[in-house]
Amino acid sequence: MSISPQTHLNYRPINEEHIQEIMGIELEAYPEPWTMGMFRDEIKNPHSHFHIAYERETLIGYCGFWLLVDDAHITSITVARNHRGKGFGRAQLDHLIVEAKRLGAVKLSLEVRESNANAIKLYSSSGFVPVGRRKGYYSRTREDAILMDYFIEDSPSGGNELE
């Protein structure tokens, strides 16, 4: 299922007031959730481009990346449980690709839990390709991470499909 043409997400840079609200989503979404301190670090980190996503005034989720030279390393794309399966993850990924390109990135990279089939399907269908594996990357579960990259100049329309 995808977002209807009438649906539009609004993005706001993360700030301290958002942390308590997004912690509820974080705790239900991940077996190894970020802490409040990790979100505070995103606010302070000059390389972080982290956004909260709203549909009207309803918090849908959040997403972000670290821009390191010309690589936008995606740190999170998270959708609240009651909003999953509606295309909001793809909308946030598209937002990150546009933002990364606007800021001069030529590549986006990420790690994804090997058991997260929905995320892997989303990334693959958006042009990300697997480039490696990190054995036991997730400390609590010892699960491997799949490394994936997206090259803006190699995208189907030369990186212009989201403009």
* CA separation for the pair 163, 141 (Å, rounded): 39
β partners of residue 68:
71
- State whether the Cα torsion 42-45-51-52 is positive or negative: positive
Radius of gyration of the chain measured on its C-alpha atoms: 15
Residues with a catalytic annotation lie at 111, 123
CB 78 within 8 A of CB 32: no
In whole angstroms, what is the distance from residue 146 CA to residue 134 CA?
7
